[in-house]
Chain A
């Protein structure tokens, strides 16, 4: 009898432990206590105007980046850069590396090596950067795994007279000089939500497959999407957000789970990573639900060609990561040459022309780009 009681007790404890999280039902909206800044409602062309408006607002903002300690004047001289993305071995950062190599080749006096941990691990990234500070490079390009954690080592680089320019994922502003912003968070959010509302109507209901709740970029996008949707499409129904790491199979399974759980109530899936989008699309395609469920997501075109060409996915939203890497190298060159310094409103970036400065110390690549069946085959990255 004693044993029976013990077992019952353990079972009751387990049940209590399970029911506790059950009762806490949060619809995760990416909140990390940062202010959101949704764009005005509307479709299509207006987006560019919004960008312009914002630019005017932002010109008020002072430069809030850091400064590299004075070193030798390297203007016009050969410089060695190291590029430390979040991790190596994935398509997205292979594309930014490609862009950097293109820029280095064009400029002729820049050499870039890409080196990063093999997993998106904050500590490994810090150690890689630290080693390159010791090795003595002229400039560091980075995409941060965590904006705060990476800051001390970047400040150390600045103190050592190494120029620091970020791209893709920002750090704390004063830990680097410039950040090449691929697209504003609110611009991405608007593009994603507009695409879904356009495909499935303004009262669609949708789920989200993201990497992890702690990934800063994804969290910011989702927060901006929530802000924008609640302002412009109040009838959109948010079902839930699921984590899938950067895991192809898990992304596929989470999308399947959404499809099965909500059945005909599900109209769309937002996929927030370049892994989740193709695999989410695969789940929808294999379930034969292309007509009923729209997949809208961020992904590189090569990964999405099978699905866009088969007509299962209409819009893929992204900036051009090749251009992003390309711009980062040009910004770095301009900084080293002294042609681009705090207070400037724009910078020239080779084939991309003039890029404007926003938010104090960010160089904006441009509005997000929408890949569709018409143009996706023109891109190869």
Chain B
């Protein structure tokens, strides 16, 4: 983030006008009651939109979606305006376009409804008037005088890293899909989506540490499968549940130590070791388990199904571990050493850090995180499958790298990987909610992953300028 030329322009209240207008429009749309018509009952626009059969959803056809979409557009432009008033002319132009959209919508609205319902305008709710006025103001604001260009505020910092880009993308996604299909916003769906991939997020925490040191672990998928079966079989054999939860952590740490030993002391590249371990662990699992699913676990075993304080356990584990890892990697000596190791192994060596011990540590930690992930996985259902979860390693690695962890090591944070896991899961479910043709689901997912990565690159490039 280099300094830009020109004197900083003070942030004026006027810069926030777009945000204010947008909040008015969106607030009126969602919060204020819609037309009071007895046969429809007191209802808000959002519910009216949502009650349509989802598969009849024709985007932009009915018009009701236009207002919040345009409002959203104004909101984004408003935020942009605050961040980078340099481009405020262009922004206000675009903002006006959004306002115009609202106005056009009103014209259509009156044309359609006035015909068969003459009394409609009389019944028109205050919410509609407010939205109309805000829309017109959005058109007019192009006339409002602007500050000088070349101004960057500290708020830019908020969008100065991959984590916030992903968080922003996540919120945007939830918002847009929520408008297209309000059921997406129901509490159960949000909570299901948050906890669904929590185990991937936890595995990705370990992976993040490994990748930060410039290594990789491809064997996580097989290991999760094996550890889950170990844990399940132990509890079925009569071991108390807490011990059965602990066992995978210990075995996982053991595998991690083995991999770490091969990488650190025998100097075999981690990709080779873990590629080999992927096959070895998978083979062991299949030979040992013989396809027999584990079932009849005692009820107290199902850690992931517990809801202390009404919050699903996976979410708690994921959030707590993410915070711990973020802090630990930022403030502990070892955590910082990981970055040093990945950034420049030679420098790390010269600075007196024992490279071998660090590598051992990171792989053992990774093994423990894989162990935790496997417990979250095995306690999720009443049945534990005796096969490794398919392509789990790809999901975990994708989460880490989309989260901003550079595969060359040295940069990236745990927060990013957790947010990326959530984003990937929300994308999966969102595509279903807006009826993307099932054949194209994967293509759209791939495209969105690419878009996230590109957004990050564009951000970095702008920062460098």
Note whether A and B contact each other (Cβ less than 8 A). yes
B-binding residues in A (CB < 8 A): 1, 3-4, 7, 10, 14, 17-22, 24-26, 28, 88-94, 118-119, 213, 239-243, 245-249, 252-254, 256-257, 260-263, 275, 278-279, 282, 285-287, 302-303, 305-307
Query: Could you tell me if A275 and B385 are in contact, using CB atoms closer than 8 angstroms?
Result: yes
Give Cα distance in the complex from A279 to B383, angstroms. 8
Of B199, B386, B462, the residue contacting A89 (CB under 8 A) is B386
Query: Could you tell me if A21 and B436 are in contact, using CB atoms closer than 8 angstroms?
Result: yes
A-binding residues in B (CB < 8 A): 54-55, 59, 87, 90, 181, 183-184, 186, 188-189, 192, 196-197, 199, 282-283, 285-286, 289-293, 295-296, 305, 377, 380-383, 385-387, 389-390, 425, 428-429, 432-441, 443-444, 447, 451, 454, 458, 462
Query: Could you tell me if B295 and A261 are in contact, using CB atoms closer than 8 angstroms?
Result: no
Interface of A is mostly: helix
Q: A14-B451, A89-B387, A118-B286 are in contact. Are A240 and B381 (CB under 8 A)?
A: no
Give Cα distance in the complex from A163 to B189, angstroms. 53
Q: Chain A nearest CB: distance from B65 CB in Å?
A: 14
Of B90, B183, B283, B432, the residue contacting A118 (CB under 8 A) is B283
Q: Chain A nearest CB: distance from B305 CB in Å?
A: 7
Of A24, A278, A286, A306, the residue contacting B440 (CB under 8 A) is A24
Query: Could you tell me if A260 and B291 are in contact, using CB atoms closer than 8 angstroms?
Result: no
Question: Which residues on B sit within 8 Å (CB–CB) of A252?
Answer: 196, 380-381
Query: Could you tell me if B444 and A90 are in contact, using CB atoms closer than 8 angstroms?
Result: no
Question: Which residues on A sit within 8 Å (CB–CB) of B428?
Answer: 253
Query: Could you tell me if B447 and A25 are in contact, using CB atoms closer than 8 angstroms?
Result: no
Q: A22-B435, A26-B437, A91-B292 are in contact. Are A4 and B90 (CB under 8 A)?
A: yes
Closest B residue by C-beta to A24: B437
Give Cα distance in the complex from A81 to B182, angstroms. 57
Query: Could you tell me if A279 and B381 are in contact, using CB atoms closer than 8 angstroms?
Result: yes
Question: Which residues on B sit within 8 Å (CB–CB) of A285?
Answer: 382
Give Cα distance in the complex from A239 to B433, angstroms. 12
Q: A21-B436, A260-B186 are in contact. Are A253 and B55 (CB under 8 A)?
A: no
Q: Chain B nearest CB: distance from A73 CB in Å?
A: 36
Of B192, B197, B380, B437, the residue contacting A22 (CB under 8 A) is B437
Give Cα distance in the complex from A91 to B439, angstroms. 28
Of A93, A247, A278, the residue contacting B383 (CB under 8 A) is A278
Question: Which residues on A sit within 8 Å (CB–CB) of B380?
Answer: 249, 252, 282
Query: Could you tell me if A28 and B438 are in contact, using CB atoms closer than 8 angstroms?
Result: yes
Q: Chain A nearest CB: distance from B412 CB in Å?
A: 24
Of B290, B291, B447, the residue contacting A14 (CB under 8 A) is B447
Interface of B is mostly: helix
Query: Could you tell me if B295 and A302 are in contact, using CB atoms closer than 8 angstroms?
Result: yes
Query: Could you tell me if A256 and B440 are in contact, using CB atoms closer than 8 angstroms?
Result: no
Query: Could you tell me if A248 and B389 are in contact, using CB atoms closer than 8 angstroms?
Result: yes
Query: Could you tell me if A286 and B432 are in contact, using CB atoms closer than 8 angstroms?
Result: no
Query: Could you tell me if A247 and B183 are in contact, using CB atoms closer than 8 angstroms?
Result: no
Question: Which residues on B sit within 8 Å (CB–CB) of A14?
Answer: 447, 451
Q: A1-B90, A25-B55, A260-B189 are in contact. Are A241 and B432 (CB under 8 A)?
A: no
Question: Which residues on A sit within 8 Å (CB–CB) of B451?
Answer: 14
Of B189, B444, B462, the residue contacting A21 (CB under 8 A) is B444
Query: Could you tell me if A247 and B389 are in contact, using CB atoms closer than 8 angstroms?
Result: yes
Give Cα distance in the complex from A253 to B196, angstroms. 7
Q: Chain B nearest CB: distance from A96 CB in Å?
A: 10
Give Cα distance in the complex from A80 to B295, angstroms. 34
Q: List 12 A-B contacts (CB under 8 A).
A: A10-B454, A18-B447, A88-B286, A89-B285, A94-B291, A213-B438, A213-B439, A240-B438, A242-B432, A243-B438, A252-B381, A275-B385
Closest B residue by C-beta to A299: B383
Question: Which residues on B sit within 8 Å (CB–CB) of A260?
Answer: 183-184, 186, 188-189, 192, 429
Question: Which residues on B sit within 8 Å (CB–CB) of A1?
Answer: 90
Question: Which residues on A sit within 8 Å (CB–CB) of B389?
Answer: 247-249
Query: Could you tell me if A26 and B295 are in contact, using CB atoms closer than 8 angstroms?
Result: no
Query: Could you tell me if B458 and A249 are in contact, using CB atoms closer than 8 angstroms?
Result: no
Question: Which residues on B sit within 8 Å (CB–CB) of A24?
Answer: 437, 439-440
Give Cα distance in the complex from A177 to B167, angstroms. 59
Q: A4-B87, A91-B291, A286-B305 are in contact. Are A248 and B381 (CB under 8 A)?
A: yes
Query: Could you tell me if A241 and B382 are in contact, using CB atoms closer than 8 angstroms?
Result: no
Query: Could you tell me if A303 and B293 are in contact, using CB atoms closer than 8 angstroms?
Result: yes
Of A88, A118, A246, A303, the residue contacting B295 (CB under 8 A) is A303
Query: Could you tell me if A93 and B438 are in contact, using CB atoms closer than 8 angstroms?
Result: no
Question: Which residues on B sit within 8 Å (CB–CB) of A287?
Answer: 188
Give Cα distance in the complex from A76 to B322, angstroms. 66
Of A91, A282, A286, the residue contacting B386 (CB under 8 A) is A91
Q: Chain A nearest CB: distance from B311 CB in Å?
A: 15
Query: Could you tell me if A282 and B381 are in contact, using CB atoms closer than 8 angstroms?
Result: yes
Query: Could you tell me if A26 and B439 are in contact, using CB atoms closer than 8 angstroms?
Result: yes
- A1-B90, A260-B189, A282-B380 known, 7 other contacts, Cβ within 8 Å: A22-B436, A90-B291, A91-B291, A243-B441, A257-B192, A260-B429, A261-B433
